[in-house]
Structure 1
Amino acid sequence: MNRSTRATVSSGSIVAVAMMVMNVATYGFNLAAARLLVPAEFGALTALLSLILIANVVALALQASIARRISVHPDHTAQIVLTASRVALAVSLAVGLAVALSSPVLTPAFSFDSVWAVIWCGAMLVPLTLAGAQLGVAQGTGRWGKLAALYVGNGLGRLFGGVAGVLIEPSATSAMMGLAIGAWLPVLLGAGLLKTSGTGDVHSRRPLVFETVASASTLLAYFAFSNVDALIARGGFEAHDSGLYASGLILTKSTLFLPQFVSVVFFPSLARDSSHRTRLRAASLVAVLGLLVVAGSAVLPQLALILVGGDQYGEVADDLWLFALSGTFLAIVYLLVFDALARRSTGVAVLLWVASATVFSVAWFWSIGIVGLVVTMACVGAVVAALLLAWPLLRPERGHDAAEPAVADDPALPDDSVTGFVPGAADADGDVERH
């Protein structure tokens, strides 16, 4: 193993461990909230967290855009960071304000007790978006230790801030307040990554904004699909059943997050390898890990019940393996979405939006309960995964351009130029940027 390979393995391992710590901390908060909140309040909190996940695609897209530009143009790092800092501040405030202003609409739509729950969601998105820009700078410059610290800070901020909010008052609104405060921890840990002042040449902000929008389109479609059932359960079920479904979603999300390290490790190969062997290997590994959780949930439902909140959610114990199955298919889709981004494939967002509409239509026209909704998600997820596996055969991949114009003259990207990012894969999608 040469020095370059060893360095790649080392940096990938550091970030993979940090992501696991973040996911464990996030799971810890979800488990604590499930035990400290009554089912109705926990159902409301789950819906609020789903809104956060959907709106957070802006942060992920900003992270991807910044990381790509720094990786492709290392000689312009100072100028890119200076431009990114200004864009990040404006975008974070815009996203937070937009969500906060939607509170009069979202509060009655999802039966929240107070508009403050959604307002705190908006407040949380401000530091989350800023942290996304910091992650992009750390990833693009290869500062893997800093990148890992930001991910760990994200998880610990959610764990301690969210639990503190629930302990102050056992309500979804108080939990969101604690989460909004805790979200500033990674921003503080990343202080200095974003330059808020400087005298260097400031590149046009428009290319970065356009690229961020393009990146967000596919990511938004994925997160909307992976969270559509949580929103349906909150808006269409009674409060108690909504809470039961929310407890099952803990297992769904855990199964989804468990194999994320596969995307981290395989993303460089997915971007470079024109064959389909790597994609099939990665998808197979994700499937095996997910099916192990499914089998464990089916054989030991009472143990699985402990992991999702305890006896007060006992009504859903025998159905938890279905939630794990849904999470398995969502994890495969997650991997294949990043595979499509790595290969510069287009049209994936349309497929994911159609999948979301399908789940919503089934729930709207048929009065399905908890089991019906989770089975619908699993079936649609399986179909989407199968289509994405065949996607490179259905839609030819774009070729690599031979040249790259200077960053300062970088035009706005076309709508079908979607950027993908997985932490720990700095130059995974090649050394050229497409226009």
Structure 2
Amino acid sequence: MNRSTRATVSSGSIVAVAMMVMNVATYGFNLLAARQLVPAEFGALTALLSLTLIANVVALGLQASIARRISVRPGQTIQIVHTASRVALALSLLVGLATALSSPILTPAFSFDSVWAVIWCGAMLVPLTLAGAQLGVAQGTGRWGKLAALYLGNGFGRLFGGLAGLAIEPTATNAMMGLAIGSWLPVILGMGLLKATGGGDAHSRRPLVFETVTSASTLLAYFAFSNVDALIARGGFDAHDSGLYASGLILTKSTLFLPQFVSVVFFPSLARDSSHRTRLRAVGLVALLGVAVVAGAAVLPKLALILVGGDQYAEITGDLWLFAVSGTFLAIVYLLVFDALARREGGVAVLVWIATATVFCVAYFNRIGIVGLVTTMAITAAALSAVLLVWPLIRRTPEPKQTEVTEPPVP
């Protein structure tokens, strides 16, 4: 093993451990919330978190855009960071305010008890968007230790903040208040990443904003797809079944988030030079981790039940492995979406929106129940994974290095 390979393995290990700890902390909060909240309140919290995930596409798009631009133009890092700091501040305030202002519409649509639940979602998105820009700088410059610290701050900030909110009163609204406050921890830990001297006039922001919007639109399609079943369950099931489905989604999200370190570590290299062989190796690694979770849920369903909330959700014990299958294919789709962002592949968002519409039409209008909904998600995600895997071969997109020549330089 040469020095470069050892460095890649080492950096990947650091980020992988940090992201796994972050996901364990996030899972810990979901598990404790499921135990403290009645099923109806937990269903509301799950829907709120799904809305936050969807709106958080701006942060993820900003992270991907900054990381890609720094990776392909390391000599212009100072200028890129200078521009990114201004764009991040503006976008964070815009996204947070837009979400908060949507509370009069979303509150009755999803049967939330108070408009404050959605307002706290908007407040949470401000630090999440700022942290996304910080993550992009750390990822693009290869500061893996700093990147790991930000992920840890994200996980523990949400864990302790959310639990503090529940300690005041066990409601979905209070949980969101605590999460909004705790989400500032990674921003504090990342102070200094967005500070840079150098040029950059108003026009230099436009390419970054344009790429962020493009990336965010693709990620919006993905998060709409990966959360459409949670929203259908909240709007189409009764409060009890919605809570049961939300409990199963703990396993789905855990299976989805477990292998996300693969896309984070490989993203900069994919932006510089992607190959189908690399893509297949990454998909294989994600699939292997997913199969392990599915097998565990199938062989030890009672243990899986403990991990998703306990005896009050016992009705779905025998179906938990299906939630793990859904999470596995969603994780593969997630990896392939970021691979497309690294190569600036077009058409992916349309494919994902088609998958979302498919799930909605099949599940919402037919009232197919808990097992039917999770099975529909799993089958659709599997089909989408197969299409995305061969999509670059069908389109025969040039390598990113060639497309960078035609892109205007960052001032």
Scaled to the shorter chain, the TM-score interval is over 0.9
Evaluate the alpha carbon distance shift between residue 266 and residue 209 of structure 1 in structure 2; reply closer, same or farther with a 3 A threshold: closer
Residue equivalent to 2:393 = 393
Matches within 5 A, 1:398-409: 398-399=398-399, 400-401=401-402, 403=405, 407-408=409-410
Residue equivalent to 1:383 = 383
Q: In structure 2, how many angstroms separate the alpha carbons of the residues matched to 1:405 and 1:334?
A: 26
- Relative to the length of structure 2, the TM-score reads 0.94
AA aligned opposite 2:236? G
Q: In structure 2, how many angstroms separate the alpha carbons of the residues matched to 1:404 and 1:361?
A: 41
AA aligned opposite 2:387? L
**Contact 2:15–2:265 (CA<8 Å) still a contact in 1?**
no
Residue equivalent to 1:371 = 371
Residue equivalent to 2:86 = 86
**What SS class does the counterpart of residue 407 from structure 1 fall into?**
coil
Residues 164-220 of structure 1: per-residue CA shift (max 9 Å, x gap): 11111100000000000000000111112223x867444621111111101112111
**What SS class does the counterpart of residue 345 from structure 1 fall into?**
coil
Q: In structure 1, how many angstroms separate the alpha carbons of the residues matched to 2:77 and 2:161?
A: 34
In the alignment, structure 1 residue 70 sits paired with structure 2 residue 70: yes
Higher helix share: 2
In the alignment, structure 1 residue 9 sits paired with structure 2 residue 6: no
**Contact 2:82–2:198 (CA<8 Å) still a contact in 1?**
no
- The offset of 1:266, in angstroms, is 4.8
Residue equivalent to 1:171 = 171
- The offset of 1:2, in angstroms, is 3.3
Q: In structure 2, how many angstroms separate the alpha carbons of the residues matched to 1:386 and 1:71?
A: 28
Residue equivalent to 1:259 = 259
Which ranges of structure 2 fall in alignment gaps of 5 or more residues? none
**Percent identity of equivalent pairs:** 81
Q: In structure 1, how many angstroms separate the alpha carbons of the residues matched to 2:216 and 2:115?
A: 27
**What SS class does the counterpart of residue 112 from structure 2 fall into?**
coil
AA aligned opposite 1:185? L
**Contact 1:345–1:396 (CA<8 Å) still a contact in 2?**
no
Residue equivalent to 1:155 = 155
Q: In structure 1, how many angstroms separate the alpha carbons of the residues matched to 2:333 and 2:217?
A: 16
Evaluate the alpha carbon distance shift between residue 202 and residue 395 of structure 1 in structure 2; reply closer, same or farther with a 3 A threshold: same
Residues 346-405 of structure 1: per-residue CA shift (max 9 Å, x gap): 211101000001111112321211111101101111111111122123221224327366
**Contact 2:76–2:410 (CA<8 Å) still a contact in 1?**
no
Evaluate the alpha carbon distance shift between residue 184 and residue 272 of structure 1 in structure 2; reply closer, same or farther with a 3 A threshold: closer
Q: In structure 2, how many angstroms separate the alpha carbons of the residues matched to 1:201 and 1:337?
A: 30
In the alignment, structure 1 residue 110 sits paired with structure 2 residue 81: no
Residue equivalent to 1:301 = 301
**Contact 1:73–1:407 (CA<8 Å) still a contact in 2?**
no
Matches within 5 A, 1:31-430: 31-195=31-195, 200-202=199-201, 204-267=204-267, 275-399=275-399, 400-401=401-402, 403=405, 407-408=409-410
Deviates more, 1:150-159 or 1:326-335: 326-335
Q: In structure 2, how many angstroms separate the alpha carbons of the residues matched to 1:99 and 1:93?
A: 10
**Contact 1:37–1:171 (CA<8 Å) still a contact in 2?**
yes
Q: In structure 2, how many angstroms separate the alpha carbons of the residues matched to 1:230 and 1:280?
A: 30
Evaluate the alpha carbon distance shift between residue 308 and residue 74 of structure 1 in structure 2; reply closer, same or farther with a 3 A threshold: same
Q: In structure 2, how many angstroms separate the alpha carbons of the residues matched to 1:101 and 1:30?
A: 26
Deviates more, 1:394-403 or 1:284-293: 394-403
- The offset of 1:20, in angstroms, is 0.9
Q: In structure 2, how many angstroms separate the alpha carbons of the residues matched to 1:223 and 1:309?
A: 24
AA aligned opposite 1:231? L
Evaluate the alpha carbon distance shift between residue 103 and residue 14 of structure 1 in structure 2; reply closer, same or farther with a 3 A threshold: same
Deviates more, 1:390-399 or 1:379-388: 390-399
**Contact 2:121–2:176 (CA<8 Å) still a contact in 1?**
yes
**Contact 1:326–1:378 (CA<8 Å) still a contact in 2?**
yes
- The offset of 1:275, in angstroms, is 4.9
Residues 86-127 of structure 1: per-residue CA shift (max 9 Å, x gap): 111111000000000000000000000000000000000000
**Contact 2:95–2:126 (CA<8 Å) still a contact in 1?**
yes
**Contact 2:64–2:341 (CA<8 Å) still a contact in 1?**
no
- The offset of 1:77, in angstroms, is 2.8
**Contact 2:23–2:155 (CA<8 Å) still a contact in 1?**
yes
**What SS class does the counterpart of residue 259 from structure 1 fall into?**
coil
**What SS class does the counterpart of residue 244 from structure 1 fall into?**
helix
Q: In structure 2, how many angstroms separate the alpha carbons of the residues matched to 1:4 and 1:255?
A: 30
AA aligned opposite 1:151? Y
AA aligned opposite 1:378? A
**Contact 1:344–1:397 (CA<8 Å) still a contact in 2?**
no
Q: In structure 2, how many angstroms separate the alpha carbons of the residues matched to 1:143 and 1:275?
A: 24
Residues 247-272 of structure 1: per-residue CA shift (max 9 Å, x gap): 00000011111222333455466556
**Contact 1:82–1:202 (CA<8 Å) still a contact in 2?**
no
Runs of 4+ more than 6 Å apart: none
Evaluate the alpha carbon distance shift between residue 65 and residue 392 of structure 1 in structure 2; reply closer, same or farther with a 3 A threshold: closer
**CA RMSD in angstroms, aligned pairs only:** 2.0
AA aligned opposite 1:407? P
Residues 322-353 of structure 1: per-residue CA shift (max 9 Å, x gap): 11111111112112222333343221110100
